[in-house]
Amino acid sequence: MLDQGRINKRNDVLATALLWCAGLVILLILVCFLGYMLVQGLPVLLRPGFLLGMPSDIRAGGGIGPQLFNSFYILFLSLLISVPIAIGAGIYLSEYAKNNRLTDIVRLSTESLATVPSIVLGLFGMIVFVSYFEFGFSIIGGALALSLLNIPVLVRVTEETLRTIPRSYREASLALGATKWQTIWRVVLPQALPGISTGVTLTAGRALGETAILIFTAGTSVSRTFPDFDLFAAGETLAVHLWYVNGIGMVPDKTQIANGIGALLILVILVFNLAIGLPIRYYQQKMLKGAK
Amino acid sequence: MNRNVIAERVLDMKKNMDGHHVRTLLYDRYIRYLFIASAMMMTLIILTIIIFVGRQGLLTFKEVSPLQFFFGTNWDPPFEYGALSFIVGSLAVTALAILIGGPLGLAGAVFMAKIAPPRMREVMRPATDLYVAIPSVVYGFIGLTVLVPFIRSVLHTGSGFGLLAAGLVLAIMILPTVITISEDAIRSVPRPLEEASLALGATRWQTIWKVIIPAALPGILASIILAMARAIGETMAVQMLIGNTPQLPFNLTTPTTTLPSEIVVEMGNTPFGSAWNNSLFLMALVLLVISLLLILAIRYLAKKNAMNTSNA
């Protein structure tokens, strides 16, 4: 019996050590990935004329200016399209949805949409936006296709955030004679704003690096003018350029350019996640604690 | 003041208020329709995707027999359309990623839920968010510049491209999916269950292994299935590491290919509407059907789990 007890204790210590190892390995892999990319890419990023310069097809020393612009332009447009729809659907699921067939279908659709592989969304965007609506490989085509990726994530974020708002807030507002919409607009949504903002920021970070959707909707070339706000201009983004230049490009410094873009993408997601996402989340926790 | 005048004024006020009130109620109703419409958009979008991709893909069968597509190994368009090696490649790379990433992610989830001190948890949570945020091209590019040369120099075989390189990077990419969903499942195991086990004298590890993990199993399975869906659809990272050679993988370092990476490689050079192009849409349809089946499996698990807990 005593021996068994000792074995159990030893196993417990061993397992605890192993689980600690797993946790540390997971952190270590992340740090290695981020560190490697930054070390390789930061010198390129600081190269004069790289960040805002025009790309070159053949010679070394080209920049990524148009791609940088397109990345944020497409991201902005896609959020403009996806945020209102997603928040609307999220509000429906959290505030209105009854336990019926319609709700079930909407939920199943949202979950399915969230797991559609991005290359499939890309091909769909190619048939519908590029060919059928004749947008061509364009910024608007890319933004619309990218919205399909954002929407299900944002719906879930909105619904989950709204569900954390205490029931009593809604009841107090309704009891004062406010309508349901007034309650949602003046009581529930302001409370949920920090949570929804965090969700939008994290989604934006993810969408910024998306590639498979954009290759066949926004295309792999850029406009000759920079910055070009034309919605129908070719819209290659940073991530697509990384892939294209590294695989198919003919410039001699293609690895350098890829390194530079990699580091830039990492920097941007660090800003999105840590500099914007974390403070909002902190504020939100403080507010929720205050509410209790 | 004249009584009539007062009564008139009161009536007037009432009328105005009623107008305002009616308008508020009208807004309330119409905005509700707006929300329902946004929600219905989800269904509309997914149905349109299935119909458009499905129709384009199924056109392949006008010229190619399903038998050849699903069981042929010879990919030589426009003569032969055997896509078996892509399907096998996709399944193999997914299995490899789950075998490596699944246990590690699960261990991470247990660590975060039950062992890590709060400080450590505060670090791990944003870390898993960062894992999701790293673009898949960056994963692929790092794999290409670090992992592929490493495999080539260590194993001395071939080019370094193949299932091993792609599977390892995919294993890392699915970590956040496994971690976050498994952690939620582990956390939602009722506390009395855990306390009862500890009170009986079980060690923490025994409690985790024999009580918590079995109780959280449906959620853990769901996280693995969702990770499979992510892995099988992953395009860019795999395309950069798999070698893109249409042949069956005989070992971990044979260059082979997967459904998504074949689509990316060939879509640009095939004319829209040709059998070749349609066959790429058919591959997309196969991916779509697989991911929809995986979602149905997760829902089935969730439903079963809900029934179990309500019985208990």
Tens-of-pLDDT digits for all 292 residues of chain A?
Answer: 558 888 888 888 999 999 999 999 999 999 999 999 999 999 988 888 888 888 887 787 788 888 899 999 999 999 999 999 999 999 999 988 888 888 899 999 999 999 999 999 999 999 999 888 888 888 999 999 999 999 999 999 999 999 988 889 999 999 998 888 889 999 999 999 988 988 898 899 889 989 999 999 988 888 777 788 888 888 889 999 999 888 887 888 888 889 999 999 999 999 988 877 677 777 767 766 655 4
pLDDT grade for B178, boundaries at 50, 70 and 90: very high
Is A181 inside a domain boundary?
yes
Of A84, A180, A239, the CB nearest to B135: A239
Is A105 inside a domain boundary?
yes
Give chain A positions within 8 Å (CB) of B127.
Answer: 26-27, 30
Contact A209 B133 (CB under 8 A): yes
Give chain A positions within 8 Å (CB) of B263.
Answer: 119, 123
pLDDT of A8 reads 87
pLDDT grade for B99, boundaries at 50, 70 and 90: very high
Is A122 inside a domain boundary?
yes
- Whether pLDDT at B5 is above 80: no
Contact A135, A66 (CB under 8 A): no
Q: Which burial class, exposed, middle or buried, applies to A224 when counting CB atoms under 10 A from its CB (0-12, 13-18, 19+)?
A: exposed
pLDDT grade for B167, boundaries at 50, 70 and 90: very high
Contact B234 A27 (CB under 8 A): no
Cβ count near B201 (within 10 Å): 9
d(C-alpha B190, C-alpha A283), whole Å? 29
- Go through B39-72 and write b for each residue having 16 or more CB atoms within 10 A of its CB, e for each that does not: bbbbbebbeebbebbbebbebbeeebeeeebeeb
Domain with A216 in it: what CATH number? 1.10.3720.10
Is A7 inside a domain boundary?
no
Name the residue range of residue A120's domain: 65-291
Contact A119 B295 (CB under 8 A): no
pLDDT of A81 reads 94
Is A20 inside a domain boundary?
no
Contact A116 B272 (CB under 8 A): no
Of A19, A180, A242, the CB nearest to B141: A242
| Chain A (219-248) residues lying within 8 Å, Cβ to Cβ, of chain B | 239-240, 242-243, 246-247
β pairing state of B75-76 and B80-81: antiparallel
Residue B265: φ, ψ to 5°: -70, -40
pLDDT of A292 reads 47
Tokens of A281: 């989340």
SS in 3 state form for A164-209?
HCCHHHHHHHHHCCCCHHHHHHHHHHHHHHHHHHHHHHHHHHHHHC
Q: Find the mean pLDDT for residues B276-305.
A: 91
pLDDT of A287 reads 67
Give chain A positions within 8 Å (CB) of B131.
Answer: 30
pLDDT of B312 reads 47
d(C-alpha A258, C-alpha A264), whole Å? 10
d(C-alpha A205, C-alpha A31), whole Å? 18
| B23-40 tens-digit pLDDT | 888 888 888 899 999 999
Contact A179 B172 (CB under 8 A): no
* CB contact B122 to A (< 8 Å): no
d(C-alpha A168, C-alpha A175), whole Å? 10
Range from A42-56, A112-126, B71-85, B233-247 that averages highest in pLDDT: A112-126
- Half-sphere exposure in the Cβ direction for B224 (13 Å, CA): 19
Based on the structure, what is the number of domains in chain A? 1
Tokens of A55: 């790309």
What are the C-alpha distances in Å from B260 to residues A118, A183, B138, B214, B290? 9, 46, 17, 35, 13
Q: Chain B closest CA to A124's CA: distance in Å?
A: 6
Contact B288, B53 (CB under 8 A): yes
Give chain A positions within 8 Å (CB) of B140.
Answer: 243
Is A287 inside a domain boundary?
yes
Q: Which of A19, A75, A96 best probes binding to B when mutated, by most B CB atoms within 10 angstroms?
A: A19
Contact B41 A89 (CB under 8 A): yes
* CB contact B243 to A (< 8 Å): no
Q: Chain B closest CA to A15's CA: distance in Å?
A: 6
Q: Chain A closest CA to B67's CA: distance in Å?
A: 23
Which residue in chain A is spatially nearest to B145 when comparing CA positions? A255
Which residue in chain B is spatially nearest to A109 when comparing CA positions? B43
* CB contact B65 to A (< 8 Å): no
pLDDT of B249 reads 83
Stated as kind and residue range, the H or E segment containing A68 is helix A65-91
Which of B294, B231, B224 lies closest to B260 in space, CA to CA?
Answer: B231
Is A221 inside a domain boundary?
yes
Is A166 inside a domain boundary?
yes
Of A97, A182, A273, the CB nearest to B126: A273
Contact B299 A111 (CB under 8 A): yes
Cβ count near B32 (within 10 Å): 18
User: Which regions of chain B does DSSP assign to beta strands (E)?
Assistant: 75-76, 80-81
Mean of the per-residue pLDDT values of chain B: 88
pLDDT of B53 reads 93
* CB contact A48 to B (< 8 Å): no
* CB contact B58 to A (< 8 Å): no
Which of B98, B229, B236, B62 lies closest to B172 in space, CA to CA?
Answer: B98
pLDDT of B287 reads 94
Of A19, A116, A243, the CB nearest to B137: A243
d(C-alpha A69, C-alpha A72), whole Å? 6
Which of B141, B94, B90 lies closest to A211 in space, CA to CA?
Answer: B141
Contact A116 B56 (CB under 8 A): no
* CB contact B33 to A (< 8 Å): no
